[in-house]
Amino acid sequence: MGFTNGGIVKIVCVGGGPTGLYFSILMKLWNPANEVIVFERNKEGVTHGWGVIMERRFLDRLVELDAESAAEIAMRAVSWHEQAVEINGRREVNPDNGHACGVSRQRFVDILTARAGGLGVEIRYEQDIRDTSQLPEADLILAADGASSQLRGSHAQFCTRVTDGRNKYIWLGTGKVWDAFNFFFVPTEAGWIYGHAYPHEPMTSTFIAECDTRTWAALGFDAASPSRTCDMLEEIFADQLDGRRLWTQFPDGVDSRWLNFRTVSNERWYHGNVVLAGDSAHTAHFSVGLGTTLALQDVIALAGQLRRAGSLSADGISAALAAYQKQRQAELEVHATEAQRSALWFENVPRYVGLSSRQFAAVLHARRAPLLPKLPPRLFCLLHDIRQRSAAVNAVRNGLVR
């Protein structure tokens, strides 16, 4: 079912990452007559980032929406089932952590770019859009230009709130390839530092280093160059990297730098015909691995509401955007809470390092539990073990009854 608005609907997407590109694909698939233009600040063929994570079941959902691009993504992705936690020289493995996959962000964007172009989407590169006055006339404008969205910033009506996390983190690449999602916790003379690592290509992995601000400053990262930062982290994580190098330079040629994670939220997700999606609308801490999935779910929901509206008259747009905002804010409430709890857990790692490696891995896996920060860690572990044993006994009992 196409839209009816005098025949052709004009849509502008600001941001040529996965969010904007996938929305443009959905709009052209549902009505090839739609005119869709994507404005991207980077040069063609260049993106910023290493790997992205998706659950296999979400990739299956993408098959239903666009089998062609989903098949290409699946072919380029690498998969794992296990989550490994390493602390104090011990490695604890959770063998049943779901079916996840990683894919290079560059390849992901390339796949969506090719698909969008094949459907007739116009993509304009090296376009730094700061305000709607720079854009052509459109029925709908999607602001998908990231957590620091300039387009969102030009409209106070979104009532944006940004809060910075306490920890420092840096996003790196490496030639070391793991077969699971890994958490590494390494003590230094200045405090604990943590690594998050997962494969995103057959020969490449993403590696995120994180620590609290005091540790970061005491180790000298505040004054270290990008190359010196990599040298220092390679020394700290020598056992985990097995001699492999860390890479600080993204494919777009920009060096990664230490950041505090920015949690973005907005009271309103649309103003007039401008609507937010992805990181411009909300962010979720990287430790939950849902950033790309939640962003794509945004535009899937937006496209669905627009399609149900049937008309992109001014009233039709307003009704669809209101429905989209209501839907996604409700759906994201749980994810936002869990992401906040996950970030808080990593900001309080010293509280848990006295546990055994098995207990530590258990509380890390349960880090989104509301009771965890309120109970002494060992008491939480005791209650957690009791609950797991009870669940196992009940499973056996139910099996015998059947």
d(CA 8, CA 253): 39
d(CA 200, CA 220): 30
Q: Would you state the pLDDT for residue 400?
A: 55
Give 130-178 pLDDT, tens digit per residue: 999 999 999 999 999 999 999 999 999 999 999 999 999 999 999 999 9
User: Can you tell me whether residue 197 is helix, strand or coil?
Assistant: strand
Nearest one of 388, 384, 386 to 367, comparing CA atoms: 384
d(CA 246, CA 401): 54
d(CA 98, CA 71): 20
pLDDT at 108 over 70: yes
Categorize the per-residue pLDDT at 9 as very low, low, confident or very high, splitting at 50, 70 and 90: confident
The neighbour count for residue 127, using CB atoms within 10 Å, is 16
The top-level CATH class assigned to 165-259 is alpha beta
Q: Where are the domains of the chain?
A: 10-78+99-164+263-346, 165-259, 369-401
Give 314-329 pLDDT, tens digit per residue: 788 899 999 999 999 9
Helical (H) or strand (E) element with 166: strand 160-174
Is 377 in contact with 362 (CB distance < 8 Å)? Answer: no
Give 57-86 pLDDT, tens digit per residue: 999 999 999 999 999 999 999 999 999 999
d(CA 261, CA 243): 29
Residue 364 CA: distances (Å) to CA of 148, 185, 278: 30, 11, 27
Q: Would you state the pLDDT for residue 1?
A: 33
d(CA 195, CA 186): 8
Is 267 in contact with 159 (CB distance < 8 Å)? Answer: yes
Q: Return the exposure string of 137-167: e unless at least 16 CB atoms fall within 10 Å of the residue's CB, then b.
A: ebbbbbbbbbbebbbbebbeebebeeeebeb
At residue 399, φ and ψ (nearest 5 deg) are -65, -40
Categorize the per-residue pLDDT at 313 as very low, low, confident or very high, splitting at 50, 70 and 90: confident
At residue 91, φ and ψ (nearest 5 deg) are -120, 120
d(CA 27, CA 268): 23
Q: Would you state the pLDDT for residue 311?
A: 65
Predicted structure pTM score: 0.93
Concatenated DSSP letters for 331-343?
Answer: HHHHHHHHHHHHH
Q: Would you state the pLDDT for residue 6?
A: 43
For the domain covering 10-78+99-164+263-346, report its CATH number.
Answer: 3.50.50.60
One fold for both 10-78+99-164+263-346 and 165-259? no
Concatenated DSSP letters for 58-114?
Answer: HHHHHHHH-HHHHHHHHHH-EEE--EEEEETTEEEEES-S--EEEEEHHHHHHHHHH
Helix axes 67-76, 105-118, angle to 10 degrees: 160
Categorize the per-residue pLDDT at 387 as very low, low, confident or very high, splitting at 50, 70 and 90: confident
pLDDT at 3 over 50: no
d(CA 325, CA 305): 10
How far does Cα 37 stand from its chain's mean position?
A: 24
Which amino acid, residue 125? Y
